């Protein structure tokens, strides 16, 4: 194991959280070598343990957000366990939580109190709606945030609404938190000082959507020439004999190849479909026409035909298809391992490769409180004068 493949070795993170946002962020740190201690309440622990497919008190969702961590159970209603939690935080490099505003302060585990005693601490507080405004004290869940941040109007047909069928807001916030904490760690290397990071799901999700979703709302003034929303450039999937493909025709040559593929060479002479500007105006109409054609070809044959003209295209795959897909296999994206409680498991390897190398295989997701005794013993040793 080299320093290159464990870039966060030596960093200790203490996580107080339920569900995905903080859990996924800190798992990225654990995969990169940090010692992540997950503080869970006794009893059921993080409720994520019990959602979806599960065995031995560990769900697939929990495993996918908590690999390589250590779990300690602490009852934060107990003064004794709160004191232990405080000790953990004061020996950490990073503390992260996703509790509602004020909860950690009432426990004496707030940012100001801890950083007063440990100025080099990086403290990240994740909330749903920030610390100001009428919704600041409200709970936030992914599908509620999808509605609030604008995702549902982008996904739905005109005048309609639809969810993105993945926990996208939770995961966006997790990646935003991971980036912010890494930046704070870098700043600490230069200054020696930690800092407080406030992060809300709502702001993270709006910032994520805005570059393309809000491009038509960015420029103001009567002299703005408005084009079609970027989402209109997404052509509808093209049906094959065994499924469908997605394609991204951007140039005249690309579109000529698509017209030939579906047997509509006559569309090449249509003036309104020539050139980027004309096509953008009529894209919804054009995409609908193409989607209505059904070439007697398999998805593989269609993708191969478009590839000859350098048109980006891919088959529409299900998640179950991915582990056997040729490109996925070539990139070695999936990893099979034996979990001490779950038996054989399959998960995705960390996508970032440092020095061109994959990160070293990380440890399993923990059983509830699995490492409590070991962590408390470490606390006692570290606290000795």
DSSP per-residue letters across 353-381: -BTTBPPPPP-PPPPTTTTHHHHHHHHHH
* End position of a domain, from candidates 262, 285, 315: 315
Q: Angle 89-94-96 (CA atoms, 0-180°, nearest 5)?
A: 85
Q: Are residues 338 and 189 in the same domain?
A: yes
**Which of 290, 315, 340 delimits the end of a domain?**
315
| Residue 205 within any structural domain of the chain | yes
Does residue 64 sit in the same domain as residue 130? Answer: yes
Regarding whether 173 and 292 lie in a shared domain, the answer is: no
The answer to whether residues 67 and 194 belong to one domain is yes
Asked whether residue 244 falls in the same domain as residue 192, the answer is no
CATH code of 107's domain: 3.40.50.10540
Please check whether residue 357 lies inside any domain of the structure: yes
Residue 340 and residue 203 in one domain: yes
Q: Does 188 lie in the same domain as 285? A: no
Please give the chain's pLDDT, 385 residues, in tens: 444 568 999 999 999 999 999 999 999 999 999 999 999 999 999 999 999 898 988 999 999 999 999 999 999 999 999 999 999 999 999 999 999 999 999 999 999 999 999 999 999 999 999 888 998 889 888 999 999 999 998 887 667 788 999 999 999 999 999 999 999 999 999 999 999 999 999 999 999 999 888 888 888 988 877 766 666 667 788 999 999 999 998 889 999 999 999 999 999 988 898 888 888 788 888 888 998 998 999 999 999 999 999 999 999 999 999 999 999 999 999 988 899 998 999 989 889 888 888 887 778 999 999 999 999 999 887 765 5
Residue with tokens 């009428």: 134
The reply to whether 107 and 46 lie within a common domain is yes
Cα 29 to Cα 384: distance, rounded to the nearest angstrom: 28
Dihedral (CA of 109, 113, 118, 124) sign: positive
Same structural domain for residues 298 and 337? no
Interacting residues of 284 by C-beta distance below 8 A, sequence separation 6+: 232
Q: pTM for this one?
A: 0.90
Q: Are residues 262 and 184 in the same domain?
A: no
Q: CB of 255 within 8 A of CB of 289? A: no
Report the pLDDT value the prediction gives residue 1, as an integer from 0 to 100.
41
Any domain includes 229: no
In a domain, 231, yes or no: no
| Pairing of the two strands 58-59 and 238-240 | unpaired
**Residue 124 belongs to domain spanning:** 12-210+331-383
**Coil, strand, or helix at residue 111?**
helix
In a domain, 137, yes or no: yes
CATH assignment of the domain containing 297: 3.30.1540.10
Do 338 and 307 sit in the same domain of this protein?
A: no
For residue 357, what are the β-bridge partners? Answer: 354
In a domain, 23, yes or no: yes
From 266, 282, 315, give the residue that closes a domain: 315
Domain count, the chain: 2
> What is the C-alpha separation between 379 and 304, in angstroms, rounded?
60
With H, G, I as helix, E, B as strand and everything else as coil, classify residue 12.
strand
Q: How far apart are CA 282 and CA 273, in angstroms?
A: 7
Does 325 fall in a domain? no
Q: Residue 218 contacts by C-beta under 8 Å, 6 or more apart in sequence?
A: 210
Closest to 142 in 3D by CA, of 174, 181, 111, 178:
174
Q: Is residue 7 part of a domain?
A: no
202 and 246 co-located in one domain? no
């Amino acid at each position: 194991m080299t320093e290159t493949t464990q870039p966060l070795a030596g960093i200790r993170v203490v996580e107080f959280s339920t569900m995905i946002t903080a859990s996924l962020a800190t798992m990225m740190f654990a995969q990169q070598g940090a010692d992540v201690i997950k503080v869970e309440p006794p009893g059921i622990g993080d409720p994520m343990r019990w959602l979806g497919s599960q065995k031995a008190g560990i769900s697939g969702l929990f495993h996918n957000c908590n690999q390589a961590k250590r779990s300690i159970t602490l009852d934060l209603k107990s003064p004794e366990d709160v004191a232990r939690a405080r000790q953990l935080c004061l020996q950490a490099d990073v503390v992260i939580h996703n509790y509602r505003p004020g909860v950690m302060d009432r426990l004496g585990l707030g940012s100001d109190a801890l950083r007063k005693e440990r100025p080099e601490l990086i403290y990240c507080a994740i909330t749903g709606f920030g610390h100001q405004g009428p919704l600041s004290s409200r709970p936030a869940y992914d599908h509620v945030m999808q509605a609030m941040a604008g995702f549902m109007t982008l996904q739905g047909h005109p005048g309609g609404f639809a969810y993105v069928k993945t926990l996208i807001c939770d995961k966006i916030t997790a990646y935003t938190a991971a980036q912010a904490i890494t930046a704070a760690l870098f700043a600490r290397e230069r200054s020696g000082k930690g800092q407080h990071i406030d992060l809300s799901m709502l702001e993270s999700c709006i910032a994520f959507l805005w570059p393309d979703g809000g491009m038509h709302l960015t420029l103001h003034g009567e002299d703005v020439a408005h084009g079609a929303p970027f989402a209109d450039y997404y052509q509808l999937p093209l049906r094959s004999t065994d499924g469908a493909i997605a394609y991204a025709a951007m140039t005249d040559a690309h579109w000529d190849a698509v017209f030939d593929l579906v047997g509509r060479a006559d569309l090449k002479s249509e003036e309104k479909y020539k050139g980027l500007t004309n096509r953008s105006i009529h894209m919804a109409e054009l995409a609908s026409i193409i989607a209505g054609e059904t070439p007697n070809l398999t998805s593989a044959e269609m993708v191969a035909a478009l590839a000859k003209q350098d048109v980006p295209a891919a088959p529409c795959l299900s998640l179950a298809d991915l582990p056997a897909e040729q490109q996925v296999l070539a990139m070695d994206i999936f990893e099979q391992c034996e979990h001490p409680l779950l038996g054989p498991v399959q998960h995705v390897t960390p996508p970032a490769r440092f020095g061109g190398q994959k990160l070293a295989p990380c440890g399993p997701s923990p059983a509830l409180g699995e490492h409590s005794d070991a962590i408390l013993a470490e606390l006692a040793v570290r606290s000795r004068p």
